[in-house]
Amino acid sequence: MEINEQQKGIKDFIEILKMRKWSFIVPLLLFFVASIVTAVLIPPTYRSTATILVEEQEIPREYVLSPVTGYAEQRIQQITQQILSSVKLVEIIRKFNLYQELRDRYTLEEIITKMREDIKVEPVSAEVGDRRTGRPATVTIAFRVSYEGRYPEVVQRVTNELVSLYLEQNLKTREEKIVGATRFIEEELNDVRGKLKTLDSRIAAYKEKHLHSLPELTQLNLQELERAERTLEQIDIQLRNLKERESALQTQLSSIPPDLADPDKQMLKELRAKLVSLSTRYSDEHPDVKKTKEQIEKLEEKLKSQGVDPIGGKPDNPAYINIASQISSVQSEMEELRKQREAVYQKMAEYRRRIQMSPKVEEGYRGLVAERNNLQAKYDDLMRKYLETKVALSLEKEQMGERFTLIDPPRLPEEPVKPNIPAIILIGIVLGIGSGVGTVSIKEHMDQSIRNPDVLSKLTGFSVLSTIPEIVTLDEILRSKRRNKIFIVSIAIGMVVLVLIFHFFIMDLDVFWARLTRRLGI
């Protein structure tokens, strides 16, 4: 069994600590002093915080519905991304001349990353009852904006600038959304209005084309058809009556001679009949033919001298003339009735055509009317929304809608939030104790010497007769002093190195880490 493998008690550890106290004390002091120096040399970091309240609109949403949708958390995140954009941050950095000490060592992108990490946005949530379900829900009622930096006045001014950007950007974003919604709805409204005018023109042209076949005129067409049928029946009855009267008059007329009794005219008729009979048997040179012609001529001249038409002319019997005129009147009435009957037939055909066309016209008309009703409903809905957006826009201009209100302005920080001196010193003490224990353990493990008679007796199995004390010479004392001086100088150099390491790496560890991850592509 080796020496280091022997079980050691508390006394053995106390003896080891006494013998190697400097191996424990020196690392402890080294880390303790280094932590104090680091805590003193790390530049202080100040933080200024402002609280912004998310207020609901003053007028209830039942009366004025805003077109700006989304939860407050979503809107805060959107505005945060806009404010933390590279363009905005570069403007703030140049305006307040921030991070001068980093501009020679880091790129602008790394400085922007550093500023994004120095800006903190924390929501403030609360449990409220949902209006629709009545169940408690977590909503964001406010949020905090803070900025960290080395100079209190600059930190306060930057935080105030960030708060102003949040307030302005919220108003600008809400107004832009409402203006955009108003413009969009107005364009849709004009488009639907134009379509309505076009459709009204189509409906008017359709009505004009099918003026008498429209669905609302179907009943009227049926009534007109029935009236025409009744008129036709009346005409037919009148025609039958007139025909019967004409027949009766014709019968009377046939029994009345057209002319009065005249022997000369009667003789003339007989001579003409005789001439016709002779002309069929003899030529014109026959004596009987010539004699008959001479008799006819003399009789005609006699009748002419008396004022009577020898050829026949008009009847001169008053009774005959009266009945003939009645027959002529009846025939004229019948002709007029026939014309009326034909016109009624044409009207009936037109009414039947209108009634037959009415279902097709109604189908097309209903399609146009349905399309117009849909467009009118859309137009009414758009008009309602347009009026709502107009009211919402006025609400936003008067700042009576949902808005951000600064309730806790950024104050001038009096105490730094970094570094945490007690925590750094405590870490230094813990590291010092750990490094001291480790140094003692390593030295004890590497040391194979025996410093206890009991241990020697156990290892050899023989009793120890006597012990010789350590003999220290003057040269050893001088060498020990030289080693102590070298040790002290080494401690001082080590402390300086640690301070430099803490100063150049730990102080800007966030920027260093961002730069390292960017270059490694993580």
> What are the tokens at 356?
């037959």
Domain boundaries of the chain, sorted by first residue: 10-42+419-520, 216-356
Q: What are phi and psi of 45, to 5 degrees?
A: -115, 125
> What are the tokens at 8?
């050691």
Return the amino acid letter for 6. Q
Pairwise CA distance, residues 7 & 229, whole Å: 136
pTM for the full model? Answer: 0.52
CA of residue 36 relative to chain centroid, distance? 61
Residue tagged 């206890």 (tokens)? 452
pLDDT tens readout for residues 147-199: 998 889 999 999 999 999 988 888 787 777 777 778 888 888 899 889 889 98
Pairwise CA distance, residues 138 & 126, whole Å: 6
pLDDT tens for the chain, 522 residues long, are: 444 444 555 666 666 666 667 777 777 777 777 777 777 667 788 999 999 888 766 554 554 455 454 567 788 888 899 899 999 999 999 999 998 888 888 888 999 999 999 999 998 887 765 555 556 667 778 899 999 988 899 999 999 999 999 888 887 877 777 777 788 888 888 998 898 899 898 888 887 787 777 777 778 878 888 888 899 899 889 989 988 888 888 787 767 666 655 566 667 767 777 777 777 777 778 888 888 888 888 877 876 776 655 555 555 667 777 887 888 888 888 899 889 989 988 988 888 888 888 778 778 888 888 888 998 998 888 888 877 777 766 666 655 556 778 888 999 988 888 777 778 778 878 887 888 777 777 776 776 666 666 666 676 766 766 666 666 677 767 776 776 677 677 666 666 665 565 555 544 555 445 544 554 455
CB 501 within 8 A of CB 35: no
Pairwise CA distance, residues 308 & 299, whole Å: 11
Count of beta carbons in the 10 Å neighbourhood of residue 48: 25
Contact residues for 52 (Cβ-Cβ < 8 A; gap 6+): 142, 143, 144, 145, 163, 166, 167, 404, 405, 406, 407
Count of beta carbons in the 10 Å neighbourhood of residue 50: 22
pLDDT tens readout for residues 377-402: 988 888 888 777 777 666 666 555 56
